Amino acid sequence: MGTVTLTHTAALARLGNALSDETRARILLSLREAPARPSGLADALGVSRQVMSNQLACLRGCGLVEAVPDGRYTWYRLADPHLAPALSNLLQLVVTVDPTCCSPEGCTCL
């Protein structure tokens, strides 16, 4: 087993923070398929363009997505090629949830 460093821990914490918000999680899952423009993502996910802008800024700040200028447009894509298969692997994960501990609003056992 490899060494776990603070860098590894911080990266997982950033990913966890990104995935803790449904809109950000949906953005990441959409971008694993292909790069997209913010307006297209907003329309596809049914959120306002302002919400999309805020969430993309958060994901950029976490280092998970990057903006790619293309003339007068900007496309967004996953910042690391390892992220798409990692998200796909997470989708295959099966967990058993204790209904007395975790709810859609968050975990109460922490």
Q: Each residue of 55-100: pLDDT tens digit?
A: 999 999 989 999 999 999 999 999 999 999 999 999 998 778 787 7
Q: What's the confidence (pLDDT) of residue 47? A: 97
The closest of 57, 86, 87, 62 to 74, measured between CA atoms, is 57
Enclosing domain of residue 100: 6-107
Q: Is residue 41 part of a domain?
A: yes
Q: In the numeric block, which tokens belong to residue 35?
A: 């790069």
Amino acid at position 94, single letter: V
Q: Where are the alpha helices (DSSP H) in 20-92?
A: 22-33, 38-45, 49-61, 83-91
Q: What's the confidence (pLDDT) of residue 96? A: 81
What's the total number of domains in the chain? 1
Q: What's the confidence (pLDDT) of residue 9? A: 86
Is the pLDDT reported for residue 4 higher than 70?
no
- What's the pTM? 0.81
Q: Is residue 1 part of a domain?
A: no
CB atoms within 10 A of CB 27: 28
